[in-house]
Structure 1
Amino acid sequence: MEDVEDIEVRKCVRLQLTHRRCIFSCRPSFGIADECRCVSAMLMRIEPAQTLVLFNWAVYLESPVVPIMQRDQSHNICPHCGKPAALCPVFRESEEALESMNPVANVFKVIPAQTTTTTATPVESLPSLLECPVCGDYALPPILQCQNGHHLCARCRRKVARCPICRAPKNRSRNLFLDHLAEMNLLNCKYHSQGCSATVSLATKEKHEMSCEHGPCSCVLIGDKCSWMGPPGELVDHILSTHGFIPRMQEQNASVTAENFDSGQDFTWYALQTCHGRDFIVMLKKTSENSSFKHCFGVVVLVGSSEDAQRFQYRLQVSGSNHRLTLEARMKGIHSLVESAQSGDGLIFSTSMAEHFCSGGSLKMDVTISTSP
C-alpha cells in the first residue's frame, strides 16, 4: 500500500477516465459500487466528521487526474459512470454537499492540513479563477469558454476570433462551474490595489465600482461635454486649467451669485471653495425636467472621499427682502454628487419660490463650510 502522503500528492483517489482503474496499487476495474482499497486506506486516517467533506470535495470535484467533464451544453457529467450529474447518485451527493455549504470557503477550512497538496487552490484565491487572462478583470456570467476550456471576460472575448491562450476557436459553450462560483463568492473591488477594502457580491459589484471612492471621478462640468476622468486629487487642477471661468473662493463663509437666474432656461452653475485645507465643489442647478415640479437645487461636496467628508458640514442660505430659506447638512464626497442631485439630497426649492429670492434677475446664495463638532 502506498504511503498516504504519496497517495494524496499523486491523486490515488482519482480514476483514469479511459481505463476506469485506480492508478496506484490496488488497480481494480471500477463499477459504481466497487471499492478502491487505496481510497479506503486514506479515509481511515481521517476523522469521521471530515470524511464526507474530503470525499465529496477532494475526490469528485477537484481536478487534475480526472478533469471535471461537461457536455456541449456545459452540464457536468460524472467522470466515473458517464451519467449526467443529476442522475449519478455519487455526483448528486457531491452537488448536495456543495449547495448546503455557503460560502464555499467554509468547506475547505475543515479539510486537514496533512491532506492538502501543493497543487491545491487556497480559499482566498478562489475568486482569482474568475480573472480574465487578458485584462485581469473578473469575468461575469454568462462565462463562455473556448473548445479547450479557457475563458475570457465578455469585453475581451468580443475583440478576438480565437482563444489567446491556446489559439482554439471560441465557441458558445458556457462554464457553469465558474458561473456558480461567481454567484456564490464575495469579490474584491477592482480598485482593491488603490486601497478599497470592500468585498461585494456579483450583483452589486458594478454599482459599487461606479461610485467607489478609490476609483476615478469624472469632471463635474458635464454640461460642457467634458470627458475628463481621473483621480479626485487632480480634479481641481483640471477644472482650473481647462475651465478657468469657474469662480474660486478662499474662505469658509462665502457668497456666490448666479446671474440671469430668472431666465426660462435650465442651467447648472458651479464654484470652487477652498477652506480648512480642503477643496469643495458648490453646485446650484435649475431644472424643468419634471414639468410638474420645476425646481432649483443646491449642494456642496468635498473633493475627496465620504469618509473624509464626515469631518465637515455646510450651510446654504438664499434670502430676499422678506423671505429666507436655509439648509444645514453633513458633507458628502465628490463621488456622491450625481446621486445627490438625482435624489434631491440638498437645498431644494421651486422656481416659483426662487422669484422671491432673486434681485435684478440674479440669485445670491450664502455658503458656510465648518468642521463637524
Structure 2
Amino acid sequence: MSRQTAVVLPSRCTPSQQVPLLSITTISDRYLVSLFECPVCFDYALPPILQCQSGHMLCSNCWPKLTFCPTCRGHLGYIRNLAMERVANLLLFPCKYAWSGCKDTLSHMEKAEHEELCEFRPYSCPCPGPSCKWQGFLDAVIPHLMQQHYVSRVVQSQKVTLHAENINRPDGVTWLIMQSCYGFHFIAVLLKGELYESQPEFFAIVQLIGTAKQAEKFAYCIELNSHSHRLTWESPTSSIYEDVVNLADDTNCLMFDMCTAQMFAKNGNLDVNITIYMC
C-alpha cells in the first residue's frame, strides 16, 4: 500500500509559534503556488486576496479594473478569501523575473520589495522621451546607447564636462555623456523641454547604469561656471530604472530656465561640469 503525506496547516498561530515557510521544491508545493495565479495578469494573487461570489480569485491590482469575474462572469464584490491568505503566509513565491534568470523565492511580504530591486528585471532605454521603446537587460544598455543613440565613447574619469551645443535652438533636445569610475558606468543627461506655460526649461541629472541598490553608493555634483557666477547642484544618483521625465516632474534634478542658461553659456554653447562621488 502506497503512503501519502498530508500537509497539515495550523488553524491558529500564537506569537511564540514558528511556522516554517514552504519553498517550491516539490511537486505538491509548486501545485499550491500555482493555485494563486491571477487569471487576468497571470501574476500571483497575494494578500489581500479577493474573490468573486463563486470563489474565483483575483489579485488586488486587477480587481479594481473589472466589473465581472473573468472566469464565471459573476458579480465582483469586495470579498476577501481569508483561508487562502493564511495559506499564502506559509508559502514562498518565485520572483516574477524568474523567466529572465532570477532563482529567488520569497514570502509574499518580501516579494514586491525584491522585484523592485531585482537585477534580472528588464530596463528601458535611459534616453528621455517616448520615441525609443527599447527594453533589455542591464548589460545590453551601453551597447544600445552606442548603436542607437550615437553615444560615441565612455569617458574614463570621475570628472567630465558635458558640452551642449546650440542651446538656443527652438525644439526640445537631449545631450548625453557616459562616464566610468569606481567600476561602474554613469550617464549624464541634459534635457531641454517645456514644463510650465511653454517656457523652455533645462533639466540635468546623473544616473547609474545599474540597480537602485547600487545607485545608493554614489552621489554627484553638477556645476555651471562663468567669470562671475557659479551654480551648483548635489544629489544622490538614481538608477536608470527611474524615468528621467518623472524625476524632472518631481524636481529631483537640477532645473534652470533659459535666462540662467544664457548667463553661463558662451556663444550659444553650455558646459556642464559633472563630478561623481562615493557616499
Shorter-chain TM-score above 0.5: yes
Within the candidate set 260, 273, 277, 1:366 is matched to 273
On the 8 A contact 1:143/1:179 being kept in 2, the answer is no
Counterparts in 2 of 1:224 and 1:132: CA distance versus 1, 3 Å: closer
- Structure 1 distance, partners of 2:233, 2:208, is 17
Counterparts in 2 of 1:111 and 1:295: CA distance versus 1, 3 Å: closer
1:263 paired to 2:169: yes
Structure 2 residue aligned with 1:253:
159
- Structure 1 distance, partners of 2:129, 2:256, is 21
Structure 2 residue aligned with 1:90:
none
Tell me how far 1:328 sits from its aligned partner.
2.4
Within the candidate set 144, 154, 171, 2:73 is matched to 171
- Structure 1 distance, partners of 2:192, 2:83, is 47
**Aligned residue type for 2:268:** G
On the 8 A contact 2:96/2:115 being kept in 1, the answer is no
Write out aligned runs for 1:307-322 (5 A): 307-322=213-228
* Greater gyration radius: 1
Tell me how far 1:212 sits from its aligned partner.
4.1
On the 8 A contact 2:128/2:174 being kept in 1, the answer is no
Q: What secondary structure does 1:297 align onto?
A: strand
Of the structure 1 ranges 360-369 and 311-320, higher mean CA displacement relative to structure 2 is found in: 311-320
Structure 2 residue aligned with 1:92:
none
RCO higher in 1 or 2 (8 Å CA, sep ≥ 6)?
A: 2
Counterparts in 2 of 1:106 and 1:355: CA distance versus 1, 3 Å: farther
Structure 2 residue aligned with 1:357:
264
Write out aligned runs for 1:97-116 (5 A): 106=13
Bigger proportion of residues as strand: 2
Tell me how far 1:343 sits from its aligned partner.
1.4
Counterparts in 2 of 1:293 and 1:254: CA distance versus 1, 3 Å: same
Counterparts in 2 of 1:139 and 1:257: CA distance versus 1, 3 Å: same
On the 8 A contact 2:117/2:213 being kept in 1, the answer is no
Structure 1 residue aligned with 2:23:
none
Tell me how far 1:368 sits from its aligned partner.
1.6
Counterparts in 2 of 1:183 and 1:241: CA distance versus 1, 3 Å: farther
- Structure 2 distance, partners of 1:342, 1:278, is 27
Q: What secondary structure does 2:74 align onto?
A: strand
Per-residue CA distance 1:317-369 (angstroms, 9 max, x = gap)? 11123221112222222223434333122222222211101111111111122
Structure 1 residue aligned with 2:25:
none
TM-score (structure 1 length as normaliser): 0.52
- Structure 2 distance, partners of 1:266, 1:347, is 17
On the 8 A contact 2:178/2:185 being kept in 1, the answer is yes
On the 8 A contact 1:130/1:178 being kept in 2, the answer is no
Structure 1 residue aligned with 2:254:
347
- Structure 2 distance, partners of 1:260, 1:184, is 62
On the 8 A contact 1:296/1:349 being kept in 2, the answer is yes
Counterparts in 2 of 1:180 and 1:345: CA distance versus 1, 3 Å: farther
Q: What is the RMSD computed on CA atoms of the aligned residues?
A: 4.6
On the 8 A contact 2:159/2:274 being kept in 1, the answer is yes
Q: What secondary structure does 2:214 align onto?
A: helix
Q: What secondary structure does 1:316 align onto?
A: strand
Counterparts in 2 of 1:180 and 1:173: CA distance versus 1, 3 Å: farther
- Structure 1 distance, partners of 2:105, 2:200, is 41
Q: What secondary structure does 2:256 align onto?
A: strand
On the 8 A contact 2:222/2:233 being kept in 1, the answer is yes
Bigger proportion of residues as helix: 1
**Aligned residue type for 2:240:** I
**Aligned residue type for 2:277:** S
The percent identity for this pair of structures is 28
1:328 paired to 2:230: no
**Aligned residue type for 1:194:** C
- Structure 2 distance, partners of 1:111, 1:213, is 28
**Aligned residue type for 1:369:** I
Q: What secondary structure does 1:233 align onto?
A: helix
Counterparts in 2 of 1:369 and 1:291: CA distance versus 1, 3 Å: same
On the 8 A contact 1:310/1:330 being kept in 2, the answer is yes
Within the candidate set 240, 244, 253, 2:146 is matched to 240
Structure 1: where are the runs of 5+ without partners?
1-8, 10-52, 58-104, 114-120, 164-169
Structure 2 residue aligned with 1:194:
102
Write out aligned runs for 1:1-373 (5 A): 57=11, 106=13, 129-132=35-38, 136-139=42-45, 143-144=51-52, 170-174=72-76, 176-178=79-81, 190-191=96-97, 194=102, 212-214=117-119, 215-223=121-129, 225-245=131-151, 248-291=154-197, 294-338=200-244, 339-372=246-279
Structure 1 residue aligned with 2:24:
none
Q: What secondary structure does 2:202 align onto?
A: strand
